[in-house]
Structures are given as C-alpha cells and as structure tokens.
Structure 1
Amino acid sequence: MTPARSTARSRRAAVAALASLTALVALGAPVTALGAPVTATGAPTADSGHRRPCTASRLPDHGTARDIRRIAERAAADMGLESVILRVTVDGREVVTTALGESMTGVPADPAMHFRNGNVAISYMGTALLRLVDQGAVGLDDPVAPWLPDLPGGEKITLRMLAASTTGLVDYVRLPAFQQAVTADPFRQWTAKEVVALSTDERLWYEPGTNWNYSHANFVLLGAALEKITGTRLDVLLRQLVTGPLGLRETRNSFTADIPEPVLHAFTADRGTYEESTFWNPSWTTAPGAVQTTDICDLARSASGLGSGELLSPSSYRQLLNPGTVGLGHATRECPATVCLANTEATHYGMGVVVLGDWIAQHPLFFGYSASMAYLPSERLAVAVSTTQGPTTPDGHTAHVIAQRIAAALAPGHPIPDFG
C-alpha cells in the first residue's frame, strides 16, 4: 500500500488490518434488578463491565502482576514499541492493568486511552448474528438475497458464509488500485458501496461455501444485512445485542475518523516516512456502524465475554467456534496459499473470531496500532494488549506477540499459535 521500500510492509498491514484488522431492544441481554447484565441462561456475569475508569493497578514488588509487566517491558524494548497497554483477568477479576511508554512525546500512555479495535467489532457482529439466530429471527443458512438484492449471487450466499468468510469474494484490501488510493490519501472517507464494488467487480475466487479466505467485503455486507434484517442501524444494534449486555462503556462507533479523549496516538512508517497516523480514516475497514474505538478494560472484557459465549446458547457458541470452516482454505490457481489459508481443527477462523489452539482470539492491526484479545476458556483467562509502533518496530502483530509471551508464562500448557 505504500511506495518504494514500504510497499510490501503496508500491504501486509492493510491485509491484516482487520484480519490479523461494525426496534430490537427486547433482544438485548436481560438485566437484574441492580442492572447487571446476565447470561443467556439468566445468571449474572462474573465480569459485568467496569463501572469506574480504566486505571493502572498497583504493582507489587514480586508476583504474577510484576512478572507480566516485565514481559511487556522486555517486549517493548525488543520491538522498539512506542507504547504498550495491557490488562489480564482471571474469571473476570483483575490480575494486572498497566501502561508503558508514551502516547506522544512527553505524554505517558494510560490504560484509559482509547484506540481502534478493528476486527474486534467483527466479533461483535458474529455474536449479534448468532443472538438473532437464538431468537429465531433468522437462520444461518438463509440466503442473503432478500436483504441484499443488489449483491451478485446473493441467492447462493448465506448469512453463515458472510460471517465465516466463505463467500469467495475477493478481498478489496489486496487490490493494487485500492492500496494505491489509501496510500495517496489515508484521510479519505470511503463508503460501503465503494469498497464492496471493488470486490464484486472481480471474479469470485471460488464457489460460495466451498473454500475460505479472509475478505473485508464479507463483513461490510454482513453489517448491511444485519441492518436490513432488524431495521436497526448497526451501531445501535451492536450496542443492544453485544456491547451493552457486556457492559462495554468505552467501546463506541464513529462515522468519522475521530477518537474520544483520552487518545492513544499512533505513528507509522507505512508510507516511507515515520509520521502520525492517529486520525487516518478507518472507514474502509469494516461496515459503517462497526468502526469502533475502545480501551484496554473493554478489550479484556470483550475477550472473556465473547470467548466464553456468555451471550449465546450452547449450540450458537459451537457455531461461533466452528461454523464449518475447519478443513477449508485449499489453495487453488484462483486463490493462492497466501489468500486461502488452511483452517485446521486447532487453528481456524470461526464466526468473527479466530480459534488459536485452546484460545479464542482477535488481533487487529491498523497503521501504527496493534491490539490483541485472547481468551482461554479452561482457565477463564483473558489477555488484552494494545501497542503503538516506533520508527524501528518490525512488521507484524506486536500486540499478539506480547499476548503470546504472557500466555506462555501464565498457561505454559496452552500456547497461543500464530495465524495468518
């Protein structure tokens, strides 16, 4: 996506931005008399959303909290990171919340700072869809043509295929013309119609439902379908069905590139010069209404709430983890191995989440921002990390690397694998 030396780096960043990078009040989670969200089974959640500001915990001189901070300190030094913000919880209870480095020169990073959560919002969309299925409003295998009549082949493409990314639609983020346009004007406001047309103007990589590839177009279309199904604007719907019931007070959509104060600033060399990218426009990344910002406490809560399936029935939780994607991802002449990544039993894409061994995860990446959320159901362990890169930071998901190191220390029998 960039000229000269950073073309390859930016392409990887853009492709991973959301991958490696959105009238139904009655369908929201019920609440107790005290207002605490409850699960689909009616039990109060163990971690019903923080009600106080997201603040750093007091670190002891020794013990697990101190060990986690030292892991982050070493990783920040190893990778030349500008900042690291993290939170770890077990069974909804804080182990540590801390921040390292600076947001800007002379401005320390702080756990209350907001950053872009990228494809975490796609996880919200997947859970929202499954909640609608639990309510009997739709079926996963319903064709999308009634709601998306202008989508070519919409009679063959189902809601399941959109949420699981098995439609065969080309990922517009990989198209050279799109990459050049974003590089030339990172502040441009893209419309859903514009980005979807980039994909639908290309030939399908495979017949819908027969293979797997990550395509941002799937999730833009899923957001549009959810709005049509419910008659509710997507940002409102996600608040009713997911972020509200999980108690996520600092997670919100914006239809502009604005980020609420306090802001975690980001910088990148993706265009060849190390420059601020905080307010580069993320409108192309996913469906309007799901372009969100969050803080580290909400990210950790999302990891536990989505990863445990607390808002879903047991059958929908199983669909979340494997909607039929295991075994897909076969490389073909039309869909090379770098696109149609193999989905194995241990490492595969679910319905808006990534299953990485024993963990349920997401790890967004967007022009200087990297984040990771991961949940280990057997230990009820949630790890949330946000990073910003410095001028010498290597390519890749730096927040995910830190999450992997924390997992290795806290759950050595359950490593977090790489994905994509």
Structure 2
Amino acid sequence: MTHSSIRLRRGAVTAVAVGALFVPVAGGVAFADRAGSVTGAAAATEPPVAPGTVRQLTPAVARQLDAAVQRVMHEANVPGVSVGLWTPDKGQYVRSFGVADKASGQKMTQDLHIRIGSETKTFTVTALLQLVDQGKAGLDDPIAKYISGVPNGDKITLRQLAEMRSGLFNYSADEGFYKALTTNPDKPFTPQELLAYSFKHPVLFAPGAKFLYCNTNLILLGLVVEKLSGDTLADYIQEYVVTPAGMHQTLFPKGAEFPEPHAQGYTDQTASGKVEDSADWNPSWGWAAGAMISTLDDLRTWAPTVATGVLPDGKPLISAATQKERLDTIKTTIPGAGYGLGIFRVQGWTGHNGSLPGYETLTIYLPEAKATLVVVLNTDINYKGAEPSTVFGEAITKIASPGNVFNLPSQPAAR
C-alpha cells in the first residue's frame, strides 16, 4: 500500500497509491495504487467461493483470466504484463502478454527483470526488524537516537516511520525535487539530498496522529539499518534478506544498473509530459523506499516469505513475535485496507505494491488459501485515475477469489 509506489505524479496516493514513489507534486506519495473499478472484469458466478479461498484454476477459469487481463491491458494501454497466481491445491495461472519493448517488439516474458518501486519498502523494513530482533534497536526508539536533524525527531519513533504515521513531509511531493528528477533522470541522489527536500517543509501532523504514506520515512529507516549494521543498505539486504530467501534474480542496485533481460518502462512522469522510456533512469532517488529490481518468479518467493516471516527452508526471516507486530495493521483512510510495518492488508490479501516511473508491481498473499498473486508491468500511466497494477489485481481477484477482491481506491493528495 504504498501506497504502493514511489509515485511522482501530483496528487495520487499511490497505491493506495501505496506503492507509489512519486507523487507529483500536488500530493505526497500516495499509496502507489490508485485503484478504480475494473471495467468488464466480471467474476464467474459459479460455484460460489467463500472468503479466504481461491477457485480451482481450471482451463475454463484460465480463459476467463486471460480475457480479463487482456481487456484491462487494452483499455489501460499497457504495453506488457506478466501475471502469476499460485496455490498449493487449486493449480496455478502464469501468463505474459504484450511487449517488453515497444521499439523492437520484444515479447513480455516471465523471466524479465522489473523495477519494483515501493515493494522495496518491505525489504528495508525487514532489515530493520532483523536488527530489532538482535537487540540493536527498539521499535519505539526515537529516530533522533540514530539520525540527527529530523523535524520532531525526538518524538517520531522507528515504529511510526515504518507504519507511515510520522507526520513528515514526503520528499517526492516537493516541487523542486520533481523538477530536478524529471529534468535530469540520470542524476544520482544521496539519501541526505532526499531528506533535505522533505525537511524544508513543516511537519504535517503530530507523530502517530494519523496515517499518511510517505517515502521520507523509509529513507530514514534505510539510514538506521546502515548505522546499526555497519553495512550499506544494499549489501545488508542482499546478504541477510534476499540471499536467504533464495531470490537469485533480485538486487538493490548501487547505480542505474539494470540486469538483462529486462523490460523497458514507459512513463508520462516526464519534464515534457510526453511518454518516455525510463528503463535507464537512475533509481537512487527511491533508494530505501523504491530502488530494487526483481522478477516475477522471485516475487512469487517473496510474497509468502514477507507475509509469514518464514523463509522457504522453514527458518525464520524474523522472529514470530516481531512478525506479529509487523502484521498489526493500523486502519487507514482506505476502505478495507490496513497498513502495518512496511506491509499492507487489503481485503484479506497481505503484501505490497510498487510503482515508479515506467513500472508497476503487485505482490500479495492470501494466508488462508496460501495463494500468491504477482503482477508486473512496464508502465505506470494511470487508467481512469487508477494505477494499472491495482486494476489488474482487481480484475484477477474478482474471478479467482471473489470473496477477497483486491482494490485500493485512489486517495486525496498526500500534501
């Protein structure tokens, strides 16, 4: 629920606009998904499906899913999308449609690397929670204990940063930042530069007073991880989160590197307002809030891992007690949605979405059914005010899990 993305676009709460990294300036980074109704994605009427369950993924259901995904793709003008829905006992549905590169016509395939935007938040918070388990920090410690110069830093806790209740201004909603990024998207940003865009604005509310998705929070938590671990954030996440999870195609880039094969990304969050290819943009501006890269299959691994706190080999990713705190979701302004420590619950699904210029992802897990849904696509251009990842998620779950239909309605600007 980033607000799923790091969205630059003004006014969106990305994802809930939760995954959005960039909320253009008129707003803060909203939850990266601005969801709307799914046109024509009618759920099958028989047999009835109870909440917490997924329909048998028969060939007939697969055809319904094919039609729904292709309908959204056509209506939202999405170049390429890959979808995976996996269950332990109802089968699986894995498909790719469209193109990864509009210039060459390269097909979208399931092995392509994708920038995952605000899904990075789940990795950064996992790193923090591991260090909390080690006794190196407490969730109720003030951020001022670790980072100086933060407005209200003596009152804002690490917990409030992770649950999006700090009251800090979202740096990606700053006009100057938006201009700097879109004018020169190859520019590397430091965490300190990002924080400066935020800290020149007054705080928006008292710590803990309300929920407001904000990328600034994650930049601060990334710095805390570095201070406590003695590692760079990228190295720590790679060694202690990504590698133990067996995610061999996932990385936290240290620059603009983008492993092959990858999809090109198409965005209208540009200086000209025209659609451009953002594949080579430097993601440092998202850093701990949205810089990471992964694949459909690796995100399949991550969905149950982050939702349960247990690695694929059965060992704990974080302690059971800390995982319970992570999933203690606070009610948000979004109907049916709660946000925990860097993770959301929406209509029974647990996970996160991601959006940054050119790319969107959705990685969610339905615990009762042990079902995983991953959607990756190569555009972040909204459709009827909704983020396309949310529109796909809604269309798919209306058919596959009608008792748990994923939806993140758009929210007012997070200004």
- Shorter-chain TM range is 0.7 to 0.9
Q: Quick one: distance in 2 between partners of 1:298 and 1:173?
A: 28
User: Secondary structure in 2 aligned to 1:88?
Assistant: strand
2:97 matches 1:100 = yes
The Cα shift of 1:415 comes to: 1.4
2:86 matches 1:89 = yes
The aligned counterpart of 2:400 is: 410
Shift in CA distance, 414/156, structure 1 to aligned 2, threshold 3 Å = same
Task: Output aligned runs, 1:50-65, within 5 Å.
Answer: 62-65=59-62
Q: Does the CA contact (< 8 Å) of 1:15 and 1:174 recur in 2?
A: no
The aligned counterpart of 2:142 is: 143
2:375 to 366, 376, 385: 385
Report which stretch shifted further, 146-155 or 92-101: 92-101
2:362 matches 1:361 = no
Q: Does the CA contact (< 8 Å) of 1:300 and 1:382 recur in 2?
A: yes
User: Secondary structure in 1 aligned to 2:376?
Assistant: strand
The aligned counterpart of 1:248 is: 247
Q: Does the CA contact (< 8 Å) of 1:13 and 1:367 recur in 2?
A: no
Amino acid at match of 1:292: M
Per-residue CA shift, 1:351-377, capped at 9, x if unaligned? 111211211131211122111111111
Q: Quick one: distance in 2 between partners of 1:93 and 1:228?
A: 45
Shift in CA distance, 209/356, structure 1 to aligned 2, threshold 3 Å = same
Shift in CA distance, 251/206, structure 1 to aligned 2, threshold 3 Å = same
The aligned counterpart of 2:326 is: 320
The Cα shift of 1:320 comes to: 1.3
User: Secondary structure in 1 aligned to 2:79?
Assistant: strand
Per-residue CA shift, 1:85-119, capped at 9, x if unaligned? 11111149971322111111321111111110111
Per-residue CA shift, 1:331-362, capped at 9, x if unaligned? xxxxxxxxxx6267x41221111211211131
Structure 2: stretches of 5+ with no match in the other structure: 1-6, 22-56, 311-316
Q: Quick one: distance in 2 between partners of 1:191 and 1:14?
A: 24
Q: Does the CA contact (< 8 Å) of 2:377 and 2:389 recur in 1?
A: yes
The Cα shift of 1:225 comes to: 0.3
The aligned counterpart of 2:174 is: 175
The Cα shift of 1:215 comes to: 1.4
The Cα shift of 1:413 comes to: 0.9
Amino acid at match of 1:77: H
The aligned counterpart of 1:110 is: 109
Q: Does the CA contact (< 8 Å) of 2:165 and 2:209 recur in 1?
A: yes
The aligned counterpart of 1:299 is: 299
The aligned counterpart of 2:121 is: 122
Residue-pair matches, total: 358
Q: Quick one: distance in 2 between partners of 1:156 and 1:223?
A: 19
Shift in CA distance, 119/413, structure 1 to aligned 2, threshold 3 Å = same
Q: Quick one: distance in 2 between partners of 1:383 and 1:213?
A: 26
User: Secondary structure in 1 aligned to 2:301?
Assistant: helix
Q: Quick one: distance in 1 between partners of 2:338 and 2:132?
A: 22
TM-score, length-normalised on structure 2? Answer: 0.79
The aligned counterpart of 1:371 is: 361
Shift in CA distance, 182/371, structure 1 to aligned 2, threshold 3 Å = same
Shift in CA distance, 92/248, structure 1 to aligned 2, threshold 3 Å = farther
The Cα shift of 1:157 comes to: 2.1
The Cα shift of 1:75 comes to: 1.8
> Share of identical aligned residues, percent?
28
Q: Quick one: distance in 1 between partners of 2:108 and 2:91?
A: 19
Report which stretch shifted further, 266-275 or 403-412: 266-275
User: Secondary structure in 1 aligned to 2:9?
Assistant: helix
Q: Quick one: distance in 2 between partners of 1:384 and 1:315?
A: 27
User: Secondary structure in 2 aligned to 1:219?
Assistant: helix
Q: Quick one: distance in 2 between partners of 1:309 and 1:91?
A: 18
Q: Quick one: distance in 2 between partners of 1:107 and 1:391?
A: 20
Quick one: higher RCO (CA 8 Å, sep 6+), 1 or 2? 2
The aligned counterpart of 2:235 is: 236
2:66 to 59, 65, 69: 69
Report which stretch shifted further, 259-268 or 170-179: 170-179
The Cα shift of 1:9 comes to: 8.7
Q: Does the CA contact (< 8 Å) of 1:363 and 1:372 recur in 2?
A: yes
Per-residue CA shift, 1:65-94, capped at 9, x if unaligned? 444333322221222210011111114997
The aligned counterpart of 2:313 is: none
Q: Quick one: distance in 2 between partners of 1:89 and 1:67?
A: 16
Report which stretch shifted further, 388-397 or 114-123: 388-397
Per-residue CA shift, 1:176-196, capped at 9, x if unaligned? 222222222222221111110
Q: Quick one: distance in 1 between partners of 2:278 and 2:384?
A: 17
Q: Quick one: distance in 2 between partners of 1:75 and 1:250?
A: 28
The aligned counterpart of 1:276 is: 277
Q: Does the CA contact (< 8 Å) of 2:117 and 2:359 recur in 1?
A: no
The Cα shift of 1:394 comes to: 5.1
User: Secondary structure in 2 aligned to 1:209?
Assistant: coil
Q: Does the CA contact (< 8 Å) of 1:127 and 1:320 recur in 2?
A: no
Q: Does the CA contact (< 8 Å) of 1:13 and 1:365 recur in 2?
A: no
2:337 matches 1:342 = no
TM-score, length-normalised on structure 1? Answer: 0.78
Q: Quick one: distance in 2 between partners of 1:206 and 1:273?
A: 36
Q: Quick one: distance in 1 between partners of 2:176 and 2:380?
A: 28
User: Secondary structure in 1 aligned to 2:378?
Assistant: strand
The Cα shift of 1:392 comes to: 9.4
The Cα shift of 1:249 comes to: 0.8
